Amino acid sequence: MDVIKYLERIGLHCDDIQAPSYDFLKRLQLAHLYSVPYENLDIISGIPISLDLNNLYDKIVVRQRGGFCFELNCLFDHFLKELGFHTKSYFARFWRDEPGIPIRRHRVIEVSLNEKAYICDVGIGAIAPRIPLLLSEGTVQEYFGESYRFECDANFGWVLYELRHGEWQKYFSFTTEMQTDDDFNAISYYCATHADSKFNKNAIVAIKSETGRKTIDGDQYKEFIGHELVHSEENLSLEREAYILKHTFGIVR
């Protein structure tokens, strides 16, 4: 992995490299979210998803694409390691908008700093924590008008809650068994190919910015300032979709 090219991919430079710290970690996560889109276009096109590190680097850094959680968080995890951070990755259940108990179909990253642990995630297209969250039970953590807190559960381990519509609701949960990169291959394949998967039905592309986020969901395009919808287009033509992908998300296929 060429760390300098990765930094350039997320809008940073070699002069920005610092010793591992929370401020540097936060800057890296925000830069990644503002530069690399969440997208499932390969899945929709029937292109097999590879979690091989070299293939991920080629796709996301060299070819300027995005990916879904197993791709983005895998590469970001190794990028952090190259910069001297101590990391682990865990399987997570993604609870947001799920009617029942979800399967483990998400990857999250734990970063250890000064005897504290933080959870990082650059692999969610929806509203999601933008900064590393301290893994501390009951501590309310706020950023970008959003509030989160962790609680411990006897069955589901660490549960992240978000304050949504005035109520604390489960966002994702994880337990802390050690995982290797290869452990995520089977569930990544399931998410990409299984008939019950949500990831292979409609094109999903999303990127966050300092002021909001932009998304494609199927044939709809939306722009948000904060959490307010300010622009929407429906029934996108193939030509209009290709234009938005190139000029808004930096994706050329």
By annotation, the residues acting in catalysis are: 69, 106, 121
d(CA 227, CA 143): 13
| Residues ≥6 apart with Cβ < 8 Å to 152 | 137, 158, 159
What letters, b where the CB count within 10 A reaches 16 and e where it falls short, cover 217-236? eeeebbbbeeeeeeeeeeeb
157-88-249 Cα angle (round to 5): 100
CB 238 within 8 A of CB 63: no
Token readout for 153 is: 């559960």
Can you tell me which residue has the tokens 């959870």? 119
